[in-house]
Amino acid sequence: MIIVEQKPLEIIFGMTGNFQSLLIVGCDGCAAIVQTGGEKQAEILKKLLEMHRKLVGKDGSKIKAVSILRQCDRQIALSSLQLLIGEYDAIVSLACGVGVQTLADLYSNKVIIPANDTMFIGMHDTKEGKFYEMCRACGDCILFETGGICPITRCAKSLLNGPCGGQASGKCEVEGWKNDCAWILIYNRLKERNKLDLFRKFRIPRDYRISEHPRQLGGEVAQKKEKFGKVEEIVGGAFKRETHSELMKQISAGKFVFTGELEPVKTTSLHEVLEGAKVLKGHVVAANVTDNPTSFGYMNALVPCYMIQREVGLEAVYQMTARDRNRLALLSDVLAAGALGIRNILVLTGDYTTVGDTPGSKPVFDLDSATFTYMMRKVIDEGVDLKGNKIEDPPKFNIGIAAAPNADPLEAELLKIERKVKLGVDFIQTQCVYSVEQAKRFADAAAYLKTPILFGVAPFKSTSMMKWMIKFVPGIKVPEDVKQRLRKAKEKSKDAFREENIEIFGELLREIRKTTNAAGIHMMAIGYEWIVPKIIERSGIA
């Protein structure tokens, strides 16, 4: 059985305030049994809404209350409501989250307003049919803000501020591109309703106290609900922060910069990382150090970040994903990074655990990249943690985020980036581009964000690597002429392939510099760092 609790009246009044006509739909199933959503409660809510509207001078509204056997049953919901729906601007549902989403799916052209919060789900035994999870009983329903689609349940990472970089053409990389990306569904639904202002908004980190187990209904829960995170309007444009790193100093001075990338692997040896850093030094201003990339369990990135700065003298960009650590662990590592002199952090959500070498591990995703960025703003610029607790001698970082320049739809990606830029982002590093047209398209579309962009460029170590990236990396598009040039070069010799690789990517760097407003290039050549200086030299960019 699904247990629901009615939202506070002021919240219901706020959600319904802009609609002249309302159809209140009760549910005679679970919600009626717990006396929060049946026929009686629908009539009571109708009277309360009418009284409230009289008090605020909104007489004349059309409000009707009905109740149906089960809102979660598509056939019942369709046969009971289809003749009524057209007369009303919005539907107020007194069902659980599954019922709300059933109505939202059946009547996608109507706004469905949840009047209840789904608290927890009891046992209902059934052995027939196929079921899709649609509500996780988080205790604070946000379906009004997400077009009737639940991101907590339908997004593999339960992101409050999606989509992540693991979607391509509306499909999620988790489980092999079979499932729809929840946040692209949300984007499409809100766009249809001309409600992308809701998509732009930022949802602050969840307060997990409300879903502690075992759960009970009572005053204690109600008190905690007042502290639970809600959607926030982020006012103003791009957030401006002081320059704390050499990378940001050079970008701020107008210099076209290069960054590199290093990857500590499943070892305690730092030899390969340090050797790669030595090759990059003098050609890049800083080097990213990856954090369990593609969910492979590698050495903690903080150690090589510190060592390449100390031993090689090359500035590090500490990549941090939200996948493996909750907000406590993230804060601990952030403070440690500050103590070790790290000055750049690239904030990432992280690939899902099932794509890596330990697929049975539990993903954390306590924060997403937006809420992580929000935490970093608190730490750096306010000297407090997410709860407002003071940090003595707070660290100073410049913060970067990742972007998917080939995302489809691109607008959803830009709106996601816009959220984070307003929260406090200093630079953007993109995923790989392989043509200047791809770079120009994204640079032009993102120009309004007024945030430095470093385009990701990853030369191919082999034609096998090229095939793998095209097949498995979201959004990778390699022009046909590039494929042909590399294939022909490979047929000649290894040396010919290397030379053509250098020539192709030297041309790409030169054209990006010449035809876009890019602040720089992020070179990703892990395991063959030697090619980076040669490509930069071939590009002719000083």
**392-441: pLDDT as tens digits:** 999 999 999 999 999 999 999 999 999 999 999 999 999 999 999 999 99
Q: In angstroms, what CA-CA distances link 15 with 7, 22, 115, 124, 219?
A: 11, 11, 9, 31, 24
Closest alpha carbon to 188 in 18, 411, 406: 411
**442-495: pLDDT as tens digits:** 999 999 999 999 999 999 999 999 998 888 887 788 999 999 999 999 999 999
Residue 370: the pLDDT is 97
Higher pLDDT, 236 or 39: 39
Higher pLDDT, 444 or 31: 444
**pLDDT bracket for residue 228 (50, 70, 90):** very low
Query: CB-side exposure of 400: number of CA atoms within 13 Å?
Result: 31
Q: Cα(484)–Cα(146) distance, rounded to whole angstroms?
A: 44
Total domains in the chain come to: 2
% of the chain with per-residue pLDDT over 70 = 93
Query: Do 326 and 436 share a structural domain?
Result: yes
Q: Is 241 contained in some domain?
A: no
Does residue 11 carry a pLDDT above 90?
yes
Residue 233: the pLDDT is 62
Q: Is 55 contained in some domain?
A: yes
Q: Is 174 contained in some domain?
A: no
Query: Do 259 and 225 share a structural domain?
Result: no
**pLDDT bracket for residue 313 (50, 70, 90):** very high
Query: Do 297 and 219 share a structural domain?
Result: no
Residue 124: the pLDDT is 41
Residue 222: the pLDDT is 46
Domain interval for residue 309: 255-539
Residue 238: the pLDDT is 65
The answer to whether the CB of 329 falls within 8 A of the CB of 386 is no
Structural tokens at position 434 = 């392989």
Higher pLDDT, 225 or 83: 83
DSSP label at 96?
Answer: -
In the chain, the amino acid numbered 413 is E
Q: Is 302 contained in some domain?
A: yes
Q: Residue with structure tokens 């729906």?
A: 85
Q: Is 164 contained in some domain?
A: no
Query: Do 271 and 351 share a structural domain?
Result: yes
Query: Do 303 and 212 share a structural domain?
Result: no
Instruction: Kindly state the average pLDDT of the residues 16-45.
Output: 94
Residue 471: the pLDDT is 83
Query: Do 371 and 298 share a structural domain?
Result: yes
Residue 236: the pLDDT is 59
Residue 23: the pLDDT is 98
Closest alpha carbon to 334 in 305, 359, 362: 305
Does residue 227 carry a pLDDT above 90?
no
Q: Which of 238-242, 387-391, 410-414, 467-471 is predicted least confidently?
A: 238-242
Residue 457 belongs to what H/E stretch?
strand 453-457
Query: Do 209 and 87 share a structural domain?
Result: yes
Does residue 128 carry a pLDDT above 60?
no
Q: Cα(324)–Cα(389) distance, rounded to whole angstroms?
A: 23
Q: Cα(2)–Cα(31) distance, rounded to whole angstroms?
A: 7
In the chain, the amino acid numbered 337 is A
The answer to whether the CB of 137 falls within 8 A of the CB of 211 is yes
For the chain, give the mean pLDDT: 92
Strands 202-203 vs 171-172: parallel, antiparallel or unpaired: unpaired
Higher pLDDT, 203 or 59: 203
Query: Do 126 and 9 share a structural domain?
Result: yes
Query: Do 214 and 332 share a structural domain?
Result: no
**pLDDT bracket for residue 221 (50, 70, 90):** very low
Domain CATH number, residue 53: 3.40.50
Runs of H (alpha helix) within 142-218: 151-154, 182-192, 196-200
Residue 125: the pLDDT is 39
Instruction: Kindly state the average pLDDT of the residues 163-188.
Output: 94
**501-517: pLDDT as tens digits:** 999 999 999 999 999 99
% of the chain with per-residue pLDDT over 90 = 82
Strands 171-172 vs 2-6: parallel, antiparallel or unpaired: unpaired
Q: Residue with structure tokens 């693991």?
A: 166
Q: Is 452 contained in some domain?
A: yes
Residue 226: the pLDDT is 45
Encode burial over 116-137: b for 16+ CB neighbours within 10 A, e otherwise.
Answer: bbbbbbeeeeeeeeeeeebbbb
Q: Cα(96)–Cα(531) distance, rounded to whole angstroms?
A: 57
Query: Do 310 and 207 share a structural domain?
Result: no
Q: Cα(424)–Cα(378) distance, rounded to whole angstroms?
A: 10
**70-95: pLDDT as tens digits:** 999 999 999 999 999 999 999 999 99
Residue 49: the pLDDT is 97
Domain CATH number, residue 322: 3.20.20.220
Instruction: Kindly state the average pLDDT of the residues 351-358.
Output: 92
Q: Is 137 contained in some domain?
A: yes
Query: Do 441 and 305 share a structural domain?
Result: yes
Instruction: Give the bridge partners for 429, in sequence order.
Output: 402, 454
Does residue 211 carry a pLDDT above 80?
no
Q: Is 312 contained in some domain?
A: yes
Does residue 127 carry a pLDDT above 70?
no
Query: Do 265 and 210 share a structural domain?
Result: no
Residue 474: the pLDDT is 76
